[in-house]
Amino acid sequence: MRKTSVIILAALCLTLLGAITAAAFGEIRYPDRPLNLRADRSAQARWVGSLHPGQKVRVAFMKDGWVAVFEPGETRADESAAVGFSNARYLLPKATRVEPDTWGELVYTPRKLNIRDSSSISGKVVGSLEAMQRVKVDFPEGDWVMVFRENATIRSQMNALGYSAAKYFEPVTTQVSDPQAAAPADEAGTSGVAEVRAMAVTPPAVQPPPVAQPAVAAPAPTEDVVAVKDASGDWGKVVTLQRDISLWRERTSGSTEVRALKAGDRVRVDFLKSGWYAVFEENEVLRSENRALGYALRALVDGDGSDAAAPPAGPAPAQPQPPAIAEGAPRQTVTIDRSRFSGARRPDPTPDKNAHGYQYRLLEKSETKKYGVTWISIKVFLGTTKLPDANQLKDFSTTLWNEHRRAMRNLVVHIYLPGMDIDDLAYGVVSFDDKAMLELWVRQVTLFGTKFL
């Protein structure tokens, strides 16, 4: 009997030891700088994500100076569970530099939803989300986003569960309504899981305190935010404006005017409250009020307020007339003495990264909200001896956008060249939304005093 007990006790000890070893495989490390994650053990391998300085990760399977990177709480001692690969020399036992960086957007889906292995309805179904389940989304591709577990800490494409259509998600801003309110799925398919149009789930809004409104004809204030439903889209309604209107930062014409729309413009409206609509781009797929362009009076948007007039626009500023140049006047050549500027500026930053054939240095990264849209701003120094053309700036900036973009955020890249004051205006400015490039422009005047001008 005693011998049997000893054998059982030994077996239990071995089992517990195996479980502890599995849970504690590898070791915890912290990157000492912003660090790229690759799909394989090579700097030429496909970029899949990034780590911020001081981020806690688990590493294992060292080979050729590269390690497999895992979520810090990962218990599967298997390289297939890795979220990417990174150079071991930049991962230290203790955090020496901590720069937290948020990523992704916390969302939920009102109904069951398929997860696919590619950003296409023809992609293979690899999983599903339950109704009201919270997840993170990031890496937008057209109308699709990558889906991550709610508690995911590492931003890597290899950490994603798969792809789902962005239009079926709602942002998590307040407490979500009762999951029982979600209707059953209605997509026919072998998986029995629906990819359906998301129902508007709007929690009751607290009535705001009375605010003195300017003398503008408007419908009586309503107590709650009204979810507008219309057959013209998945949420809200699409309208064609019958007149020129102004959009305001808040639901009052006493706030700042943020944009002017013309008669004939098509927009999407929703979140009706106190006689004001939140106005969105017509093709906006995510129902989130912080994505709104601004607010407009319902009477002006619906066209049923002929007596309601928008606040008058100020007079257009007088345009100065260019000075007349006398015919036959002698031309003068302006010579820039660059030696006068040599000691007046700080040395150029030293590039420490490569992208699209250029050496560059990330000088600054920040995030702000402007007119209801969140913007990620990236400031970079481009080490080059030849002035880049528009296509080269576009290609370089797109590479940075692919690395730094986030779901439901816009991004702008400010590009500085050798000889420029990095505390002044940038030479190149390239803007993106979460789907594509919006605009690109340069300031030739910023090159004054550099070798490029």
Question: What is the enclosing helix (H) or strand (E) of 439?
Answer: strand 437-442
User: For the stretch 404-425, what's the b/e string if a residue is b when 16 or more beta carbons lie within 10 angstroms of its beta carbon?
Assistant: bbbbbbbbbbbbbbebbebeee
* Least confident interval from 262-276, 338-352, 420-434: 338-352
- Same domain as 117, residue 69: no
Query: Do 252 and 344 lie in a common domain?
Result: no
Domain identity same for 429 and 406: yes
Residue at 368 is within a domain: yes
Residue 278 three-state SS: strand
Q: Domain of 85: which CATH number?
A: 2.30.30.40
Do 438 and 366 reside in the same domain of the chain? yes
* Segment 154-166 mean pLDDT: 94
* 247 and 347 co-located in one domain: no
Query: What number of other Cβ atoms are within 10 A of residue 214's Cβ?
Result: 10
Looking at the fold, whether 260 and 297 belong to one and the same domain comes out as yes
Average pLDDT, the chain: 78
In the sheet that holds 373-383, the strands lie side by side as 353-355, 358-370, 373-383, 410-416, 428-432, 437-442
* Predicted pLDDT at 143: 82
The pLDDT, as a whole number, for residue 180 is 41
Q: Does some domain include residue 158?
A: yes
Measured CA to CA, the distance from residue 416 to residue 348 in angstroms comes to 10
Q: Which residues, 6 or more positions from 29, have their beta carbon under 8 angstroms from its beta carbon?
A: 57, 58, 59, 67, 91, 92, 93
Under the banding of pLDDT at 50, 70 and 90, the label for residue 7 is low
Sorted by sequence, the CB contacts under 8 Å of residue 212 that are 6+ apart come out as none
pLDDT of residue 102: 79
Q: What percent of the chain has pLDDT over 90?
A: 31
Contact 97, 112 (CB under 8 A): no
Q: Is residue 231 part of a domain?
A: no
Q: Which domain holds residue 357?
A: 338-447
In this prediction, residue 436 has a pLDDT band, given cuts at 50, 70 and 90, of confident
Residues 71 and 138 placed together within one structural domain of the fold: no
Give the helix ranges, DSSP H, for 178-255: none
Helices (H), 357-405: 390-404
Alpha-carbon span 412 to 419, nearest angstrom: 22
Q: Kindly indicate the confidence band of residue 113, based on its pLDDT and cuts at 50, 70 and 90.
A: very high
CB 448, CB 336: distance < 8 Å: yes
d(CA 324, CA 99): 56
In-domain check, residue 272: yes
**Within a domain: 316:** no
d(CA 117, CA 161): 8
Give CA 155 to chain center in angstroms.
Answer: 12
Question: Which pLDDT does position 327 carry in this prediction?
Answer: 63
Identify whether the C-beta of residue 198 lies closer than 8 Å to the C-beta of residue 109.
Answer: yes
Whether 110 and 74 share a structural domain: no
- pLDDT tens digits for 115-133? 999 998 999 999 999 999 9
254 in a structural domain:
yes
Domain membership flag for residue 51: yes
More confident site: 186 or 104: 104
Q: How far is CA 277 from CA 234, 274, 293, in A?
A: 17, 9, 11
pLDDT at position 231, please? 40
- Domain end marker among 62, 92, 122: 92
pLDDT, position 178: 44
Flag whether pLDDT at 197 surpasses 90.
no
Q: Are residues 398 and 342 in the same domain?
A: yes
Residues 6 or more apart whose Cβ sits within 8 Å of residue 157: 48, 49, 139, 146
Separation between Cα atoms, residue 159 and residue 104, nearest integer Å: 12
Rounded distance between C-alpha atoms, residue 443 and residue 441, angstroms: 7
* Cα–Cα distances in angstroms (integers) from residue 445 to residues 233, 353, 393, 422, in the given order: 45, 27, 17, 14
pLDDT at 334: 72
* pLDDT at res. 135: 95
Per-residue model confidence (pLDDT) at position 379:
93
pLDDT, position 93: 93
Picking from 252, 277, 302, the residue at the C-terminal end of a domain is: 302
Entry pTM: 0.45
Q: How far apart are CA 34 and CA 362, in angstroms?
A: 10
Choose among 287, 251, 253: nearest CA to 269. 287
Q: Identify whether residues 80 and 136 lie together within a single domain.
A: no
Domain count within the chain: 4
Residue 324 lies in a domain: no
pLDDT of residue 338: 61
Neighbouring residues of 342: CB distance < 8 A, sequence distance ≥ 6: none
Tokens of 1: 């009997």
Question: Using CA atoms, how far apart are residues 31 and 87, in angstroms rounded to an integer?
Answer: 10
Enter the DSSP assignment of 174: S
What mean pLDDT is predicted for residues 398-418? 87
In 265-389, alpha helices (H): 298-302
Count of residues making up the chain: 453
Count the neighbouring beta carbons within 10 Å of the beta carbon of residue 172: 16
- Give Cα 331 to chain centroid, integer Å: 51
| Of the residues 160, 181, 202, the one at which a domain ends | 181
On whether both 46 and 121 belong to a single domain, the answer is: no
- Looking at the structure, tell me whether residues 439 and 354 fall in a common domain: yes
Amino acid 412: pLDDT = 92
Q: What is the mean pLDDT of residues 68-89?
A: 93
430 strand-pairing partners: 413, 440
Collapsed DSSP state (helix, strand, coil) of residue 71: coil
Q: How far is CA 344 from CA 45, 122, 339, 348, in A?
A: 42, 60, 10, 12
